[in-house]
Amino acid sequence: MAVSRFAYVKSYELPDPILPNVYVVFRLDGHGFHRFSDIHWFAKPNDERALELMDRAARDVMDAYPDIVLGFGESDEFSFLLRRSCTLYSRRQSKILSTLTSHFTSCYVFHWPTYFPETPLAYPPSFDGRLVVYPTQTEVRDYFSWRQSDTHVNNLYNTVFWALVQQGGMSTTEAHEKLRGTVSSAKNEILFTEFGINYNKLPTRFRKGSTLVREEEVVAPLPTETMIREPSTNLNDDELPPAVPEVEADTSVQGLDPVGQPTESVPREEEGKPPKTGKKKSRKAKKVSVVKVLHCDIIGKEFWERREDILA
């Protein structure tokens, strides 16, 4: 039973550090989510509950891993940016990759009943992940631009496709056939003339994906211990928060009513985290860093100029 006689096998675990001082992007994708979305009756072309669940899992991951400074999600995929000076797990690739993928997956399954109260999970969904390394700011911006332009292209296609099928009575084959080779303007035209849909008026969540950032937030003291769900008032493009965030913005820490008065609520950690022992709750307002879900353009420079710390 001597452990030591066999312990030499541990020497086969080779080191896999990530190069220092490069940006690390962690991207995960749903595994077999075409089938998964069918089985669970996801609305087409976009299921808001499913997207919110993705955002929720992503927010939890960012709450747990402060080294993540940005998240971007669309459909069944999410990308996260780790700051270049990140020393998480000594930058060991396998450890970072497996832990983040596991954490996201766990949050997704854990929060499922909240977002799909009527639809029990039929089987356990999974995700695959990868780490990609970028040396410069340009590549990081281009990476996120790549994902957001992909969001746009996919969403425009899916919106027309499902309009043709659901409202136009076409078969899926016919709809694909009709759209083959069409450019953006043609798709917009079909949407507008045939179905009266102005693509640009669709929810920004669908058109822009979800961008998760950290912002400083003034947190009001906690008046009660009553357990309530926080409202999920995500921000649209035209509701972009000003450079100095105001208290009424949606946060992951606490629900606030539209005029900034604290509603009866508890911090998020009460819902899905172990109680921290011996930590006395302050009853004074304080500033905390919170994760916010935005649906805004991240291809232009404005987003990045307002948040220079992301690429710092």
d(CA 194, CA 101): 42
Q: Which is nearer to a copy of itself, 249 or 303 (CB)?
A: 303
CB of 34 to a copy of itself, least distance (A): 11
Asked whether the beta carbons of 234 and 293 are under 8 A apart, the reply is yes
Q: Is 6 annotated as a binding residue?
A: no
Asked whether the beta carbons of 145 and 137 are under 8 A apart, the reply is no
Stated as kind and residue range, the H or E segment containing 63 is helix 48-64
| 63, two tokens | 């709450």
What are the Cα distances from residue 269, in Å, to 101, 272, 273? 20, 6, 5
Q: Which amino acid is at 270?
A: E
Q: Which is nearer to a copy of itself, 264 or 270 (CB)?
A: 270
CB of 49 to a copy of itself, least distance (A): 18
Q: Is 33 annotated as a binding residue?
A: yes
CB of 246 to a copy of itself, least distance (A): 30
d(CA 20, CA 291): 26
CB of 118 to a copy of itself, least distance (A): 17
Q: Is 300 annotated as a binding residue?
A: no
Half-sphere exposure of 111 (CA within 13 A, CB side): 25
Crossing angle (nearest 10°) for helices 184-195 and 137-166: 30
Q: Is 104 annotated as a binding residue?
A: no
Q: Which is nearer to a copy of itself, 132 or 285 (CB)?
A: 132
Q: Is 297 annotated as a binding residue?
A: no
| 32, two tokens | 């077999």
CB of 11 to a copy of itself, least distance (A): 6
Q: Which is nearer to a copy of itself, 108 or 161 (CB)?
A: 108
Q: Is 250 annotated as a binding residue?
A: no
Q: Which is nearer to a copy of itself, 207 or 292 (CB)?
A: 207
Rg of the Cα trace of the chain? 22
Q: Is 75 annotated as a binding residue?
A: yes
Binding residues for Mg(2+): 29-30, 76
